[in-house]
Amino acid sequence: MNGTDMNRSPFDMLRRTERLTTYLKAKCMSDTSCSNRKIGILFQPKASAAKTLAQQLKKVVGDMGASVWVCSSWDEDKACEQIEGSRFIICLGGDGTILRAARIASPRGIPILGINLGRVGFMTELNADDALTKVPDFVDSVGWVEERVMLQAELVSRDIPPFHALNDVVVARGERCRLIRIKATIDGELLTTYKCDGLIVATATGSTGYSLAAGGPILHPQAEEMLLKPIAAHLSLSTGLVLSSEATVKLEVSTTHQATLSIDGQIEVPLSDGDVIKIKRSPYVTKMLRAEWPLPFYSTLMAKLEKRE
């Protein structure tokens, strides 16, 4: 809070919040193009409940006059063929399903409505029991759009397109249980050479995933900073670092055996000695449809963590 905010009365701050809420709702209606009635549904193919709910939602949303397409979240190529022009996509599954949906939807600026059929569901908005009654509200443009920062990872030594991650980019050892050395440079300045099982570069969204399991801090989901967290560091820096949102991280791998580049724990690329990975903020954001403002983050966080145990 700045000095100007401190001089405002509680009523001024309330009005400011109300204006922001109005703006966000208007932004939602603009971003999701109210006149567009094309809605997509992505479901987790291994969950029978997700398949069933997908067909139920297809009927409910279709009865509202929308054009609805349905696809497995594992069939990304097929989903990309159908997603163009969609107003938003409904994602049925857990956080892993949303990570897949983000790769499809984010480059096109299409929002995601997450419905939790998984175990935790940090990123989802609705429970499965509420889906049939609450999804129609979003079709009618109730709610707002939350934007989540993503990462871009470029394998400098190879001629392949960059990867984009909502949760994290991980450089780690391969199948052999032997540490690797990773030379870490931030904005051209050498940080250190880690001797570890791996390094996690995470977004605020990813701070409740692998980074948290490795002992990293939790960031508010609207934070734009990045996290750098080593995995099982041996006689080297083990503390997690919070980096500027504008930071560029270069990781150079030194190993006598195969290492791995992992994108959101779903895409894996084998790495060799001397490979360099450049990681920075992605030009894309993941847009999430939300009902409540402000988001009840801290109480929800504790409820989700207790559910994990």
- How far apart CA 52 and CA 131 sit, in angstroms, is 12
- How far apart CA 274 and CA 290 sit, in angstroms, is 43
Give the C-alpha distances (Å, rounded to integers) separating 294 from 111, 144, 213. 18, 10, 27
Amino acid identity for residue 285 in this structure: V
Q: Nearest to residue 181, comparing CAs of 133, 237, 227?
A: 237
DSSP, collapsed to helix, strand or coil, labels residue 135 as: helix
Average pLDDT along the chain: 88
Tokens of 131: 């889906």
Mean pLDDT of 259-283: 96
To 5 degrees, how large is the angle CA 69–CA 71–CA 75? 140
The percent of residues above 70 in pLDDT, for the chain, comes to: 87
- How far apart CA 199 and CA 201 sit, in angstroms, is 7
The domain segmentation of the chain, as residue ranges, is: 32-143+291-308, 150-284
Q: Could you say which of 31, 95, 129, 168 is catalytic?
A: 95
> How does pLDDT run across 240-254, given as a tens digit for each residue?
999 999 999 999 999
- How far apart CA 275 and CA 224 sit, in angstroms, is 27
pLDDT band at 174 (very low <50, low <70, confident <90, very high): confident
Q: Which CATH superfamily is 150-284 part of?
A: Probable inorganic polyphosphate/atp-NAD kinase; domain 2 (2.60.200.30)
Q: Looking at domain 32-143+291-308, which CATH architecture does it have?
A: 3-Layer(aba) Sandwich (3.40)
* 128 contacts 53 by C-beta, under 8 angstroms: yes
95 is catalytic: yes
Check whether the bond before 294 is cis (ω within 30° of 0). yes
> How does pLDDT run across 42-101, given as a tens digit for each residue?
999 999 999 999 999 999 999 999 999 999 999 999 999 999 999 999 999 999 999 999
Mean pLDDT of 135-156: 94
Is pLDDT above 60 for 1?
A: no
Cβ-in-10-Å burial (0-12, 13-18, 19+) of 67 comes to: middle
